[in-house]
């Protein structure tokens, strides 16, 4: 990047950069969801898919031991208070940038909020910096339901032992479980998601659809309208 700071910034170059972002953004959205989800899996209790309790059918679940040493297809527990060990928690110092919570814990909460928005949740709060983290009192991140009701999306408690207690709205956990299973190739359709995750068919169908997506066709009109506005 430093060696390319002399590139001319003109309309064509700006257009090329924007189109590159549009084409690659979706892969980053998916990667962020997987990484955030599996951070929770690594640090908290999980449940197995229903099929893990039966004999695997090779054409349904392909297991690569080099990629997953546990050999299970997992899901987060709905309504369960997850204890995320050694995530960061509270820190001794205080500044306006951290407000008492460690950077790692704050980044994780921010990632959760971004993923929630990408999954279609109308999150009302920006993140952990809106709160002061001087003790282990629960802080709430809110969202607005489709019916317009304001509810708790996340309840977060941070501790000096570097642990974070997290409680998510059940609908957020359903969305995470379905999309993660879909992205990993474990769930091929909404019917399979409903059966494996033991959730209602309508819930599986709603969350099986891809979350927020950028497309070149949706971006082009915006770029062209901006171009027409240039004198």
Higher pLDDT, residue 145 or 6? 145
- Tens of pLDDT, residue by residue over 149-198, are 999 999 999 999 999 999 999 999 999 999 999 999 999 999 999 999 99
Domain boundaries, the chain: 11-219
Does pTM top 0.85 for this prediction? no
- Tens of pLDDT, residue by residue over 19-31, are 777 777 788 889 9
Residues 6+ apart with CB under 8 A from 88: 101, 102, 103, 104, 105, 106, 108, 158, 162, 164
């Amino acid at each position: 990047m430093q060696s390319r700071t002399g590139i001319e910034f003109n309309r064509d170059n700006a257009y090329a950069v924007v189109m590159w972002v549009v084409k690659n953004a979706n892969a980053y959205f998916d990667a962020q969801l997987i990484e955030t989800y599996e951070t929770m899996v690594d640090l908290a209790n999980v449940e197995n898919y229903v099929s893990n309790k039966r004999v695997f059918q090779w054409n349904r679940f392909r297991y690569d031991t080099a990629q997953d040493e546990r050999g299970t297809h997992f899901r987060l527990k709905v309504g369960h208070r997850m204890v995320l060990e050694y995530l960061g928690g509270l820190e001794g110092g205080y500044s306006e940038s951290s407000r008492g919570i460690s950077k790692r814990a704050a980044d994780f909460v921010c990632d959760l909020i971004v993923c929630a928005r990408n999954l279609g949740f109308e999150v009302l709060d920006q993140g952990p910096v809106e709160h002061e983290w001087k003790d282990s009192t629960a802080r709430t991140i809110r969202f607005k339901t489709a019916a317009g009701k304001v509810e708790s999306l996340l309840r977060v408690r941070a501790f000096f032992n570097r642990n974070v207690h997290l409680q998510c709205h059940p609908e957020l956990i359903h969305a995470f479980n379905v999309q993660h299973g879909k992205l990993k190739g474990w769930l091929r359709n909404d019917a399979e998601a409903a059966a494996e995750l033991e959730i209602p068919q309508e819930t599986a169908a709603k969350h099986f659809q891809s979350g927020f997506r950028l497309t070149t066709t949706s971006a082009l009109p915006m770029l062209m309208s901006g171009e027409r506005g240039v004198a």
